[in-house]
Structure 1
Amino acid sequence: MTGALSGIRILDLSRVLAGPYCSMILGDLGAEVIKVEAPGGSDETRNWGPPFQEGVSAYYLSANRNKESITLDLRHAEDRHAFLKLVEESDVVLHNFKTGTMEKLGLGYDELRLVNPGIVYCGITGFGETGPLKDLPGYDFILQGMSGLMQITGTPESGPQKVGVAIVDILTGLYACIGIQAALLERGASGEGQKLDLSLYDCAVSSLVNIGSNYLMTGKEPVRRGNTHAQIAPYQTFRTKDSQVILAVGTNTQFDVLCQLIGWDPPASFATNAGRVAHRETLTSMLELYLHERTTAEWVEAMRTAGIPCGPIHTFEELTRDPQLEHRNMWISGEHPVAGPIRMIGSPLKLSRTPVTYRLIPPEPGQHQTKWIKRSE
């Protein structure tokens, strides 16, 4: 079975999350990914924990399957030469060093395209390779704050809150995947590679979508609304008899069906979404009086049957036991040479003719050194 990106070779010099997440996705799609680290292993996530399993970090395992590993000290001429030999036979170079680092090593895009004119070169930095902040390092947490994401996350009482995962890194990894594949597609027509300059800051700001658009239209600072929607009601969490349920009522018809289900005859002022948003606090209080009478599971079953968008808030135990995710192969297993049996989150990409494959367990530093360095000499 051939992957969609079979035949594409990627040299991945990135560490931590945005770059490794990108290259793992490309690897899942069939690309051949060579993870290039400094001797001993320079990806910081190898040491980030707990938890560890037999000394292997769960964080590292989350973003490094379908890769082979070599170690090179790119400050040394012999190792730079070995790397350049690999560039000759590769399609993509991915890194997330600070602006100017690759150029100082003599491995910037201008140097690499002389070796391989078709190379697609993707650099991920905190703020991009141009502009007044170009030399600053990038950290997801800081960029969540700077980008406005934290300003709109949380409640008025909680103050700004970060998202529970490193969402800026994840978004940047996804944008890197899009950009790399677009450049490879264009190369098929032109025969030439190109450079991608990706900024965590830019990617974070791009995720503001409608909230950002609201500000650009009105000039009004957005309000932190916790689990409520800025422009739709009822579109939030509600307390039930035993926990909470999420309602996502986006149309007047859905609202009418909800009221019939719970046995409530609402006032005329709630007939439209604009009216419901204007009277959000009253609406919320009234709905919770009814929803508190039954459990979340009971409401979810009844609402789904009636066609009302809703859902529970899963614990991780509930999540990993969800039959839907089991059916979709979102939990996968493998045998790591050091950690032993491991479980990982599967890929959400479901291609009908060239499905993703899980060929390689996240590698140990230099695990494939002999294969690739001998080949490059």
Structure 2
Amino acid sequence: MTAPGLLSGITVLDFSRVLAGPMATQILAELGATVIKVERPGRGDETRDFQPTLPHGESAYFFAFNRSKKSITLDLKHERGKKIARQLAKTADVVVENFLPGHMDRMGLGYDALSAENQELVYVSNTGFGQSGPNKDVKGYDTIFQAMSGIMDLTGHPDAPPAKAGIPLSDMTSGLWIVIGALAGLASKAATGRGAHIDVAMMDVQVSLLALAAARVFANNENPTRVGTEHLGRVPSAAFECLDGGWLHISGSDVHWLPLCEVLALDELAAAEELRANSGRVQHRELVMTALRAAIGGRYREELAKDLRAAGVPVGEIRSVREVLDDNNTEARRMIGTFDHPTEGEFPAIRTPLAVSDDGGTQGIPPMQAPPLLGADTDHILRTVLELGDHEIAALHEERII
């Protein structure tokens, strides 16, 4: 059973491209909002050309972040295109854009212009460095923000160079904050009757992720850096190689210490009073880690993981992406869905990770619809939302405004 969309009745006008903005608007779409994606005639969102490419030319990258939306093409360099965009904004609840500061204002599509005609509009601007500050006009991409925010300096092993995260962390966390901003704006609108301009800077989002690392600076005046899979403030919390070459990550607090020692037959460590508290294990990190590596290195991964779980010790097998997609828990939670695309056919995708329980206790999974073909909904939106006639729409096509 599919639950009614939580955001049913909300319309989002989406001017964003590439990843953070499209990820956010896909989440809003799969929670029930109507998302109208505004794209350039001819090419559209540049990620339509990104690798990997599917057999009929569509981009799997584009598919990952643009499901369940409608696509309209508009030439925003043309005055008629801008006018249509303004008319659509009058009917919208939320606008999402990710141009450099001032770009939308110069087109007459900034917050001041649009909110003057729709005072309830929630307008979310996603930029690299925000609407103010010395870097506001600086361009950047995910890895640039990972580098400049300190995340790369914290990622990797101590004896290795800095490393980026294995996923586009800066883009995806920023996408989540765009959603949070939009929902907060809608809540405020419901209470006050007025919208708001939400400023989401990707760099700000990354700095916010430094909360625990910054706590060490604030408390101890130290500069945290790379520790591999270990944890600066907890022992044990690290990945260990097993006898069969597989890896386990173990992370435990004081209540897990003695059960861990018992499973690994580390009687001497278990008897050491100074190791009973985490502070002592942190102080004697090398002693503890050396003993754990030796004991775990003599056990097979699956057997050891089973024994540790039975003892209540938090443990996780380090898995590949393919292993995660094939995992029985992933299947049981129905995290992989499919959509039917008009040219590529049935295609799998990771669903929006929310399920809604209705009064009967049934979990409703957000619906998954195909990403739109470029401009697939242009005529329909102009006809039904703006009530343009066939002759007007034909003229817009002829002038290549749509």
Match of 2:376 in 1: 367
| Partner residue, 2:325 | 320
Shift in Å at residue 165 of structure 1? 1.0
Choose which of 298, 306, 319 in structure 2 pairs with 1:301: 306
Report how far residue 357 of structure 1 moved. 2.4
Of 242, 245, 249, 1:246 maps to 249
2: CA distance, partners of 1:270 / 1:309: 18
What's the counterpart of residue 261 of structure 2?
259
Q: Write the letter of the residue equivalent to 1:286.
A: A
Name 1:334's counterpart in structure 2: 339
Q: In the TM superposition, what whole-angstrom CA distance separates every residue of 1:180-229 from its partner, at most 9, and x where no partner exists? A: 11110111111111101110000010011211221122221112101001
Which string of whole-angstrom CA distances, capped at 9 and with x for unpartnered residues, describes residues 129-170 of structure 1? 101111111311011011111111111221211111111111
> Partner of 1:135: helix, strand, or coil?
coil
Residue 397 of structure 2 corresponds to which residue in structure 1? Answer: none
Cα pair 1:29 1:355 within 8 Å, conserved: no
AA matched with 1:199: A
Q: Offset of 1:5 from its aligned partner? A: 0.4
Cα deviation, 1:304-323, whole Å, max 9, x if unaligned, reads 11100001011122112111
Indicate the residue corresponding to 1:197 in structure 2. 199
The answer to whether the Cα contact below 8 Å between 1:46 and 1:59 also exists between their aligned partners in 2 is yes
CA contact (8 A) 2:8 2:32 kept: yes
Partner of 2:36: 34
CA distance in 2, matches of 1:77, 1:150: 43
Counterpart CA distance in 2 for 1:30 and 1:232 is 42
How far apart, CA to CA, are the structure 1 residues paired with 2:42 and 2:189?
A: 35
8 Å CA contact retained: 1:234, 1:247? yes
Aligned residues of 2:354 and 2:366 also touching (Cα < 8 A): no
Q: What are the superposed Cα offsets for residues 72-99 of structure 1, whole Å, 9 maximum, x if unpaired?
A: 0111111111111111111011010111
Q: Which amino acid aligns with 2:334?
A: N
* Percent pairwise identity: 38
Could you tell me the TM-score, scaled by structure 2's length? 0.91
CA contact (8 A) 1:17 1:63 kept: yes
Partner of 2:91: 89
Flag structure 2 segments of 5+ consecutive residues without an equivalent: 389-402
Output the amino acid matched with 2:375. G
State the shift of 1:359 in Å. 4.5
- Residue in 1 that maps onto 2:398: none
Correspondence list, 1:130-209, <5 A: 130-209=132-211
1:111 maps to 113
Deviation of the 1:356 alpha carbon: 4.3
Paired residues in the alignment total 376
Q: Is the 8 A contact 1:29 1:356 kept in 2?
A: no
- Secondary structure (helix, strand or coil) at the match of 2:65 reads coil
Q: CA deviation at 1:330?
A: 0.5
Aligned partners of 1:99 and 1:125 also within 8 Å: yes
**Equivalents in 2 of 1:75, 1:237: separation in Å?**
53
The one-letter amino acid of 2:372's match is P
Contact 1:120 / 1:183 at 8 angstroms: preserved in 2?
A: yes
**Following the alignment from structure 1 to structure 2, what is the Cα–Cα distance between the partners of residues 321 and 223?**
34
Aligned AA (1:301): K
Separation (CA, whole Å) in 2 of partners of 1:263 and 1:66: 53
- How much is the aligned-residue C-alpha RMSD, in angstroms? 1.3
Q: What are the Cα deviations for residues 231-273 of structure 1, in whole angstroms up to 9, with x where unaligned?
A: 00010001111111110112x2201011111111113332211
Does the residue aligned with 1:30 lie in a helix, a strand or coil? coil
Give the unaligned 5+ runs of structure 1. Answer: none
Cα distance change of structure 1 residues 253 and 340 upon mapping to structure 2, 3 Å threshold: same
SS of aligned partner of 1:56: coil
1:277 counterpart residue number: 282
1:64 to 66, 69, 72: 66
1:290 is aligned to 295
Q: What is the CA-CA distance between 1:17 and the residue it aligns to? A: 0.7
Contact 1:70 1:365 in 2 (8 A): yes
* In 1, Cα distance between equivalents of 2:275 and 2:193: 59
Matched position secondary structure for 1:62: helix
Separation in 1, partners of 2:216, 2:192: 40
Give the counterpart letter for 1:368 in structure 2.
D
- After TM superposition, the runs of 4+ consecutive aligned structure 1 residues lying more than 3 A away are none
Residue type at the aligned position of 1:158: A
More deviation, 138-147/358-367: 358-367
The 8 Å contact of residues 4 and 355 in structure 1, kept in 2 or not, is answered as: no
Q: CA deviation at 1:289?
A: 1.6
